[in-house]
Chains A and B, each alone.
Chain A
């Protein structure tokens, strides 16, 4: 079985400061990892994904995430937060081994609040 944990319900950061949204995962094999963002009354927008290769993945809107296999983590980061980054962020995983399951397993979400 696969699972994702986002330990923080909310993260508060001042505009211009770096931000980190945490994600840890559990899979039986190797993971495919995704980050999505959800703005109010909108669907999920894809930010970035890790499949293989370089552990540092760069995505949309200046976001990046680092895959750490030993810590089973895939934290989302941005060097300088914007007020417009305020939204709900979801980490998701798919297990490479579990080839029969195409669906993503999502974390519970982290609300990012960037203060001006």
Chain B
């Protein structure tokens, strides 16, 4: 596709349930990032994947959060035992190779998660 795509666009779940959010990066981009946008915290980094390197998980807020990237392309962010404070917009971004420090990250439309 032409841009980063994310699914679902909206997700409503009950507290305690697990959710999976999907990101398809721009074709040919090897670097992939997850961010979270919430009213109280602004835009926060969650996790970064670059090729076959070990991911940078330094932004994950708790061990309930995990992510994987299969085949160097599609990524899934999983939140286990969701809490109300997990309600936010989850944004995925990709960049060409993550090596150049001035490299532009291109963002998807986000998944809006509401935990009831």
What is the interface of chain A, defined by CB distance below 8 A to chain B?
A: 32, 34, 36, 41-46, 49, 51-52, 90, 92, 94, 96, 99-109
Contacts and interface: CB of A to CB of B under 8 A. Distances in A.
A54 to B, nearest CB: 14
Q: Is the interface of B mostly helix, strand, loop or mixed?
A: strand
Contacts of A102: 31, 33, 48, 50, 56, 98, 101
Interface stretch (B12-20, B73-81, B102-110): B102-110
Given A49-B102, A103-B59, A43 B45 contact: no
Contacts of B112: 41
B56 A101 contact: yes
A96 B101 CA distance: 7
A94 B43 contact: no
Contacts of A90: 43
A41 B6 CA distance: 13
Given A102-B101, A109-B43, 20 more contacts: A32-B102, A34-B104, A41-B109, A41-B112, A42-B109, A43-B4, A43-B107, A43-B109, A44-B93, A51-B102, A92-B43, A94-B101, A94-B102, A102-B31, A102-B33, A102-B48, A102-B50, A103-B56, A106-B43, A109-B42
Interface residues of B, number: 26
A49 B104 contact: yes
Contacts of B45: 103-105
Interface of B: 4, 6, 31, 33, 35, 42-43, 45, 48, 50, 56, 58-59, 91, 93, 98, 101-102, 104-110, 112
A46 B101 contact: no
Nearest to B106: A46
Contacts of B93: 44
Nearest to A105: B45
Given A43-B91, A43-B109, A101-B56, A106 B104 contact: no
